[in-house]
Structure formats: structure tokens, C-alpha cells
Amino acid sequence: MSKGQIITLAFVTVLFCVANVKEGIGQSIFGAILGFAITYGVIYWINKRKSITPEQKAKIQQEKTQKLKQKQQLKQEKAQVKLELQKAKLKEKELEVQRKTLKREERKKAKAESVKVKEYATPPSQPVQSQPSLVCPHCGSTNIQPLGQHKKGFSVGKAVGGTILTGGVGALAGFAGKKTKQTDFVCMNCGKQFKR
Ligand SMILES: [Zn+2]
């Protein structure tokens, strides 16, 4: 506390004391205490502010700016984390879409392959071979019955069974009663009819 401040404090105290003399001694003392308290408070506040050196001020400022920076950094980090989360979500979505499309393509491929396999499974109708030996041109079996000559011994049941096995009932349809110059044969193995 400087000299001027002490004088001011004393002056204000006396002033408050004198100003209340008319009201009686009690009021006068109360006024003096009030004046002293107010003045002392003001002086104390001024001195506290003054006591802060520029270095301390700079330090306080620095701390403030640092805190601000830290806050900003935290904000930025949070924003980045959010962005990364969003990116991850997007990537997951993309991956899922890719997986779905891959599955679809695989299914398509599998379908196409199965169709191909079916095409291979049904061999192209072989041209009737002009071989003298009696061999079924469809399955290669030698279990052949000439329709014209051995009609009596021809077992329709066996032939039908054969056709059902290969799935070609239509092969049998219409050969009964047909008489051409060529001899009709029927394979007892697969039930297919052919001419020789
Ligand atoms: Zn056959």
C-alpha cells in the first residue's frame, strides 16, 4: 500500500466519521468503519490488479490461448473421429454391396455352368452309323430286337421300361404298324427305335 493510498484511506475514514457526527457518536463510528471498509476494499482491488506483472499477464494469456487451442484440438479430433466413423460405415456399405453383387454373379455363373453341363449331358444326336453289326446307335448296346421279324417276342413292357429310364416315351410312339423297306430295330436297353 502506497503513502497516497494510506492518506486516502485515512481521509475517507475521517470524512465518513465527520459527516455522521450530527447523528450521534454511534452513527459517526459506524460511518467511519463503513468508509474505511469501502476504501480499503477499493485500494486492495487496485493493488491486486497492479501486482500482476506483465510477465504474469503474458503467462495468463498464454494459458488462456493454450486452453483454447486444446479445446479446438479436441474439437478437431472429435470431428476427425466422426469422419472416420462415417468413412468406415460407408466402406462397410460398399463392401456389402460388392459382396451382394459378387454373390449374384456367382449365382449367375453357377446357373450358366449348370445349363452348360446339361447341354453336355445330352449328347448331340449321333448320325445313324452304317455299321453291319447290330449295335444301338444311342447307347451302344447289342441287345437289339428287329421289330419286323420278332414282333411276337418283342416285349413292349421291357421297351417301355427302357424308354422311361431315358425319358423318351415319344421314341416308341408311332412305330407300331409302320412298315418301311428298311428294317426297324428297337434297342432293348434304352428303348429307342432305329432303322438299318
Ligand atoms: Zn440303346
* Of the listed ranges 13-22, 52-61, 62-71, 158-167, the one predicted with least confidence: 158-167
Between the CA of 137 and the centroid of ligand 1 the distance, in Å, is 7
CA of 106 from ligand 1 middle (Å) equals 38
Q: What is the CA(135)–ligand 1 centre distance, in A?
A: 8
Residue 61, CA distances (Å) to 68, 86, 154 in order: 10, 37, 116
Which of 184, 128, 180 has its CA nearest to residue 154?
184
- What is the 123 CA–ligand 1 centroid distance (Å)? 14
Residue 187 alpha carbon to ligand 1 centre in Å: 4
3-class DSSP assignment, residue 196: coil
Over residues 140-186, the pLDDT tens digits come to: 999 988 876 544 445 555 555 555 455 444 445 444 444 446 678 89
Asked if residue 191 lies in contact with residue 168, where contact means CB atoms within 8 angstroms, the answer is yes
* Of residues 70 and 117, more confidently modeled: 70
Residue in the block written with cell 429310364: 165
How many angstroms does the Cα of residue 167 sit away from the middle of ligand 1? Answer: 13
Domain ranges of the chain: 3-51, 53-122, 144-195
Q: Are 13 and 36 in contact (CB under 8 A)?
A: yes
- Check: CB of residue 185 under 8 Å from CB of residue 134: yes
Amino acid identity, position 146: P
Cβ atoms within 10 Å of 40's Cβ, excluding its own = 15
- Which amino acid belongs to residue 88? A
Segment 113-128 mean pLDDT: 67
Tens of pLDDT, residue by residue over 22-38, are 888 888 888 889 999 99
Q: What is the mean pLDDT of the chain?
A: 80
